[in-house]
Amino acid sequence: VKEDGRNGLRFFAPEMQAHTQRSLELAAGLKDAARKGELFLVYQPQRALGSGALVGAEALLRWRHPQWGLVSPAEFIPIAEQSGAITAIDFWVVEQAAQQLRAWDAAGLPPLVVAVNVSAAQFARPQLAEELLHILQRVDVSPQRIEVELTEAVALKHPELAETTIRRLHDMGFKVALDDFGTGYSSMSYLKRYTIDKLKIDQSFVRELAEKTSDMAIVTAIVRMAHSLHLSTLAEGVETAEQAALLHDCGCDEIQGYWYSRPLEPRAFEAFAKGLPQR
Ligand code: C2E
Ligand code: CA
Ligand code: CA
Ligand code: CA
C-alpha cells in the first residue's frame, strides 16, 4: 500500500472499476426490479411512549438482487436517484404501503399510519401531491393513513417548489414528517417554512442519551420547541429500555428502534401487532 503517487493511482484503479461496475449493474437492474418482484417492504413498528400503544410503522425498502442477495437501500437509493428510477420506485412504495394497510385493516389490526420515505428530488415535481393522492384513491386508502417522510435535502435545489408541494400534501390530509431532524444545516428554518406535523429526532441524539447530559438537554429542547409549534416528536434508533425511559422523561411522543422491534416482513408485523396487549 505504501506506493508513491503514480503507483498508488494504479493500485486503486481496479477497485474503483469494480465499484463502478457494480453501480452500473445495480442501476440497470433497478429499472425492472419491482416488476420482477425483487423489491419488497419491511415495516418497523412505532410506539407511543405514554400509552405504549402501537401507532404506526415505517415502510423500509429491501431489494433481493438475483446475483448479490440483499442490497442495502443506503447503497441502491442513491443509485436510483441518479438514474431517475427513483420516481417509479417511490410510487411503487406508496402503492404497496397502501395495499398493506388495507390487508392489516382486514386482518383486524388497529388503524395504523404507515410512514413512507419519499426522495428529496420528488419534491421538485409540482404534481407530486396529486400523483400520491391518485395512487391512494386507486387503492381506496385515506391520505390520513400515510405519513410522508422528507429530509432537509428537499429544499436544496427548489425551496419554493418544495414549499408548495409540502403544503399541498398537508392540505390533502397526508401527514408530513421531517426525517433525521437535527443533522442538517438549516433545521430551524425548515420549521418556519414548511407545514410539517412531526419531527423524527435522529438516532445520533439517542445513541448516547444515557451517557451524555448534553444529548438529554438537546432532545428535551427539541421536544419542547416541537410541542410549542404543535408538532409531535418521534425518536429513531432506540435500542435500549433505558433510552426509551429517558425519552419518556424528555416528553418525546413516540419511539422507533430495535428495542421495540426491528423492521418486520408483513406477516411477522401482523403477528407482532396481534401479540401486543390491546389498547
Ligand atoms: P432512515 O429513513 O433514517 O431509516 C432508518 C434506518 O435506521 C433504517 O435503515 C432502519 O432499519 C434503521 N434502524 C431502525 N432502528 C434502528 C436501531 O434501533 N438501531 C440502528 N442502528 N438502526 C436502526 P435502512 O432500512 O437500511 O434504511 C436506510 C435508509 O434508506 C433510510 O434511512 C432511508 O433514508 C432510505 N430508504 C429506505 N427505504 C426507502 C424507500 O422506500 N424510499 C426511499 N426514497 N428511501 C428509503
Ligand atoms: Ca425515514
Ligand atoms: Ca431517519
Ligand atoms: Ca437516516
Q: Is the CB of 77 under 6 A from ligand 1?
A: yes
- Give the residue whose CA is nearest to atom 13 of ligand 1: 237
pLDDT of residue 1: 42
Residues with CB under 5 A from ligand 3 (ion): 179-180, 236
Question: Complex ipTM, two decimals?
Answer: 0.97
Q: Is the CB of 74 under 6 A from ligand 1?
A: yes
- The predicted model scores a pTM of 0.93
Ligand 4: centre distance to CA 180 (Å): 5
pLDDT of residue 231: 96
Q: Is the CB of 204 under 6 A from ligand 1?
A: no
Tens of each residue's pLDDT in the chain, 279 residues: 444 445 445 555 666 666 788 899 999 999 999 999 999 999 999 999 999 999 999 999 999 999 999 999 999 999 999 999 999 999 999 999 999 999 999 999 999 999 999 999 899 888 999 999 999 999 999 999 999 999 988 877 788 899 999 999 999 999 999 999 988 877 788 888 899 999 999 999 999 999 999 999 999 999 999 999 999 999 999 999 999 999 999 999 999 999 999 999 999 999 999 998 765
pLDDT of residue 178: 94
**Please, which residues bridge with residue 54 across strands?**
47
Q: Are 194 and 157 within 8 A, CB to CB?
A: no
Ligand 1 pocket test, candidate residues 60, 89, 154, most atoms within 8 A of CB: 60
Q: Are 62 and 271 within 8 A, CB to CB?
A: no
Nearest to 199 by CA among 238, 165, 232, 155: 232
Q: Is the CB of 263 under 6 A from ligand 1?
A: yes
Q: Are 162 and 124 within 8 A, CB to CB?
A: yes
Q: Is the CB of 45 under 6 A from ligand 1?
A: no
pLDDT of residue 93: 98
Question: Cell 426509551, residue?
Answer: 244
pLDDT of residue 12: 55
Residue ranges with strand state E in 93-228 = 113-117, 146-150, 175-181, 198-201
Ligand 2: centre distance to CA 17 (Å): 31
Q: Are 201 and 166 within 8 A, CB to CB?
A: no
Q: Are 172 and 141 within 8 A, CB to CB?
A: no
Q: Is the CB of 237 under 6 A from ligand 1?
A: yes
From residue 89, give the alpha-carbon distance in Å to each of 55, 61, 115, 147.
25, 9, 15, 17
